[in-house]
Structures are given as C-alpha cells and as structure tokens.
Structure 1
Amino acid sequence: MSSHHFQLDIDQGIAHLQLSRPDQFNVMDRAFFTGLRDHVRALDQGGEVRALVISSTGKHFSAGMDLQEFARMMGDFDTGSPRRRLGFQHALAGLMNCFDVLDKARFPVICAVQGGCIGGGLDLAAACDIRLCSADAFFCLQETQIGMTADLGVLQRLGRLIPAGAARQMAYTSERVGAERALALGLVNAVLPDAGTLLQRAMELAREIAAKSPLAVAGTKLAMNFARDHGTDESLRQMAVLQSAIFDPADLLAAVQAWQTRRDPDFDGLPPLFELETPRAG
C-alpha cells in the first residue's frame, strides 16, 4: 500500500512504513501528519500487526516540518485573541496526537534512522519504542534555531531517553548529535554501517518481537509506559491489575512446549479494536 508520503508493506505480522519523499528530504506537511496517524491507527485497530518498523528513503530520515506548509498553516496558529488561542491549542493537540499514536499503539515501534533526523523527525523518533541508526545519522532539535520552542513531544520524551543535561543541551543549542554520540547517550540502541544493514537489523528485531506472544508484548508495553509516567508504588499496583487481566495460561503453555520441542511457538493474535462507525444518512 502506498501514498504520496508513505509506502506500507505488511508481512507475517510485521508492518514496514517507509517515508517516501526523498527528493524533499521527507519533510512533514499536513498530509504527512494525518497520513502517519491514520496508518498507525489502522494497523493497531486491525490487530494483525505485532511490530512496526518505520524507515525512510533518500539521504535523510526527515528534515522535519515543511516550512512552506508551516507558513500556510499560520492561520491555524493565530494567537491574536483568547478565542484564537483556544483554537491554537486545539490545532496543536491534533498535531501532537499524530505522534502519540506511536506511543499508544499495542505493538512496539522500531525507528530506523539514516542521515538527518531533524526537528519533527526527532519528535517522531522519540515517540517510538526503539531507535536504531546508520553511521551517517545525526539528530538535531532545530526549533530554537528558527525561533520557536519544540512542541510535538520531543521535549517531554527526550529527557527520559537520554541524560537530562544532554537533552537540555540539544534543545537549547540545536547542536547536531552524531550516531556514536547518540549511541553513547542511549538515544539509539545500535549503529549500523549503512542504510541497508540498518533496515536489515530493524526487520530482524521486528521478527524477534513478532515471534513472541502479542498479548505478552502488548502488556509489557502498557506496563513500561505506565511506569515511565508514574511512581514505583502506583506502577506496581497497576501491574497487579494488568497481569490479572491479561495473564493467559494458554500462551505460557505454548511457549514452554515450543521451547521443549525446539520449535517456534504459535500464538493467537490480538483482536481488532472496537470503534464506533459514523451512521449512514438515510
């Protein structure tokens, strides 16, 4: 499945969403944001996908916001009156949600970064579960360089991924952080020689995840996300409730039997998500 901004392929429970405007450095316009949101929501609602890999084409992962499109959107971000400011908040929340869907999806999301990951590109990467990059990758919070504060989630997420001082330095200075520095900080899990080996490793990791019980993986993501945002005591109480809801003896038995017989386990997928449909007229 393809669109102007993305190429989507699904195989054996693994979805690969590829940014596909290399001639424009995969910049983000309005259609990019809604397309990303709608693709990820649809994958999550279907229940068949067990891991998602996001990669790109061309020299750079993403150069961030399309500044020409941003200029055209300025009417949505008018702060000239209290009513306009309320509209601003609504419009900005809508953009934030386009990256939040990655964090809220039931499956893990692996981000494979090649070349520049700039501005909104880093917002996207920070919302993913796991980041890998190629040796030529670099990461940059560009917003202060163009006179604004980053506002799509990276300031809230980056300090939980890397040391707070390093996150602040990136945010205040708009400095470029190269691949090896990103690895040392913990922003990425691995640095691969080039884009080809990067995608190969990302898909291998996705296959490892997809081979596990999707219920166990989804529960693990829920628990870790909750613990990230809450204290230990509250998270432990949530874990007890969560485990009592999702513990499946059948999955446990399937995993043990597969280990004993040295074969791959077979787990049921997750059910589709229920969504109210808009009633048809007439």
Structure 2
Amino acid sequence: MSHPAFTVHTDPASGISRLVLNRPERMNTMEPTFFPALKDAVQALDDAGQTRVLVISSTGKHFSAGMALEVFAGGLSMLNTSTARQRQAFTAGLQRLMACFSVLEEARFPVICAVQGGCIGGALDLAAACDVRVCSADAFFTVQEIHIGMAADLGSLQRLPKLLPQGLVRQLCYTGERLGAERALAAGLVNAVLPDATALEAHALALAAEIAAKSPLAISGSKQALNYARDHSTADALAQMSLLQSAIFDIAEMSQAIAAWQTKQAAQFEPLAPL
C-alpha cells in the first residue's frame, strides 16, 4: 500500500505499522490527492486489524511543509466561494478534508508522530491529531496559515488548545512564530527530543514496540476512553467508561497479560478483529 507521497508497511510479527512521507525534494508538501490517500491508508490498516501501533515519520530535512502552495492557486475547485452553492460545496469539501486527519484519532490503534525539521501548516494539523509526538532537536512547529492570510482549518485551532496552554496556542496561531523543539517539550506538545533523525526513528520505534507488546484490546479501549474524556465532562466520561469496560473486559486476556508480566515473557495476544 503506497502513494507517490508516502509508503505504508506493517510488520506482522510486531503489529507495528509505518507510514513514511517520501517526497523530501518537495519538502513533503501535501497535494490534494494526499489527503484522501492518507485517510484510505489509515482506514485500511484499521480494517485489517493487524496494526497495534502506527508510526508516522518522514524523510529529508523537514517532516512536511504542509499544504502545497499551488493548491491555493487553483489546485482545488472547492476554493471558489463566490455563490451560495459554491460556499455550501466549500463547507462539505472542507469537512471531508478534516476527516482525512480525524481518522488518526478514530483509528483503534495509537499513532506516534516522529517529527524532524519543520512541521508546518497542514503538517501540524496532522501531528496534532496523533496520540503522541516526538521530535528531533532541529524540529519546529508553526501555524503557517496565518502568514498567507487564512485561519488554519484542518484541526490545529481545535486540537492544540487540548495539548498546550491557551495563551501559548493563541500566540502561535496569531503570529505564526516557530515553536522550537525544547520549548515544545517544555510545553508538552512533544514527549521527547532526540539529537537527530536517526535517534528519533529509533526512539519512536522503541516506544511503538513497548505499546505493541500490550493487549491490543486494552490499548484500543484506553484510546477510546481517553478521546472521550478529553471532549466530555468527568461524569459523562465515567458513565461512558462503565459501558466501554463492560464491552471489552476480558478475563482470559488479563490472565495472559498477568502471566507474561510475572514471568517477564512476551504475551502472544490475538490481534483486533478485522472490520
């Protein structure tokens, strides 16, 4: 499974999948076909049920420079908003684009985003939709859209306030300034800063392996509960948890996990059911 802008591979032994952006000569910019292709690729992984964790990484100097600027020069027909019908179509088209990154949140497995160099504009929308972000020392994050006269519209304005302090988010969104790696670590946007791209990849894969060794049923349920709790009150989230736990509680799975933990052996958990 691949696209001109990225490759996808799953290791069946570990359950670790990788999606690697591979157009470094174009700074891994995102053209119109990139978005539905990403959505289809992530949904295909989810449908198959074999993936326990997905690592999204990149090649070259920069993770991604975001939406290709030529898109705004006529690359998307939806950009015409001169009539009511065209504005209605714009809304529907934008919602479809948003869904291409929301799929990362909705997938049953955690997603780790490994960022080197620039994570710019639409790339930050992508990274914000992932479960965990790690980066190299030369990484920076920027809400680039404000520099070209538009509000970011693929999730950064909605997700960053759940990840960073309000004042910092607003400054980043209003100025488009770069948030460097160390400041991103201090603010909690990333979980680790590694010296270079090689160390970054090793760290991301080690973290992925640690997650993939756990019960995929328990991991998936935890992700579902965490997403719900982020967006609802504590009381509502606890009510949801009681129903969710009744659906996924598996004493046989727990017995297997406990035995593996006690003997310091790797458990052989069943993958998730295909969709």
Q: Structure 1-normalised TM-score?
A: 0.95
- Map residues 191-210 of structure 1 onto 2, 5 A cutoff: 191-210=193-212
Instruction: Give me the whole-angstrom Cα distance separating, in 2, the residues matched to 1:135 and 1:261.
Output: 38
Aligned pairs for 1:164-243 within 5 A: 164-243=166-245
Match for residue 117 of structure 1 among 119, 125, 140: 119
Which stretch shows the higher mean deviation, 206-215 or 29-38?
Answer: 29-38
Give the aligned partner of residue 32 of structure 2: 30
> C-alpha separation between the residues in 1 aligned to 2:151 and 2:262?
54
Q: 2:143 — aligned with what?
A: 141
- Give me the identity figure in percent: 60
- Distance of 1:246 and 1:193 partners within structure 2: 40
The one-letter amino acid of 2:146's match is: T
Whole-Å Cα distance in 1 between the matches of residues 76 and 270 of structure 2?
47
| Residues 259-268 or 167-176, more deviating | 259-268
- Alignment partners' CA distance in 1, 2:35 and 2:240: 32
Q: Would the alpha carbon gap of residues 261 and 75 (structure 1) be closer, same or farther in structure 2, given more than 3 Å must change?
A: closer
Match of 2:221, SS state, is: helix
Distance 2:229 2:181 in 1: 28
SS in 2 for 1:132: strand
Q: State yes or no: 1:66 paired with 2:78.
A: no
Where 1:17 maps in the other structure, the secondary structure is strand
Deviation at 1:73, TM superposition (A): 3.2
Residue 40 of structure 2 aligns to a residue whose secondary structure is: helix
8 Å CA contact 1:103, 1:128 repeated in 2? yes
- Contact kept, 8 Å, 2:135 with 2:190, in 1: the verdict is yes
Which is worse superposed, 131-140 or 67-76?
67-76
Aligned match of 2:22:
20
How far off is 1:39 after superposition? Answer: 0.7
**Which residue of 2 is the match for residue 4 of structure 1?**
4
Question: 2:49 maps to which residue?
Answer: 47
Give the superposition deviation at 1:81: 1.5
Structure 2: runs of 5+ lacking an equivalent: none
Q: Letter of the 1:161 partner, please give it.
A: L
Distance between the aligned counterparts of 1:2 and 1:80, measured in 2?
36
Once the two structures are TM-superposed, the CA of residue 259 in structure 1 deviates from its matched residue by 1.9
Partner of residue 85, structure 1: 87
Conserved 8 A contact 1:64-1:117: yes
For 1:35 and 1:20, the matched residues in 2 are separated by 14
The answer as to whether partners of 2:20 and 2:59 remain within 8 angstroms in 1 is: yes
Query: What letter corresponds to residue 111 of structure 2 in structure 1?
Result: V
Q: 1:74: how far off?
A: 4.5
Distance 2:143 2:78 in 1: 23
* 1:106–1:218 contact (8 Å) kept in structure 2: yes
1:108 equivalent in structure 2: 110
1:74/1:32 Cα in 2 relative to 1: closer, same or farther (>3 Å)? closer
Aligned counterparts of 1:74 and 1:204: Cα–Cα separation in 2: 39
Q: Which letter maps to 2:5?
A: H
**SS state of the match for residue 44, structure 1?**
helix
Question: RMSD across aligned C-alpha pairs, in angstroms?
Answer: 0.9
One-letter identity of the residue aligned with 1:164: Q
Matched with 1:276 is none
Secondary structure of residue in 2 paired with 1:234: helix
The SS at the match of 1:144 is helix
Unaligned runs of 5+ in 1: 274-282
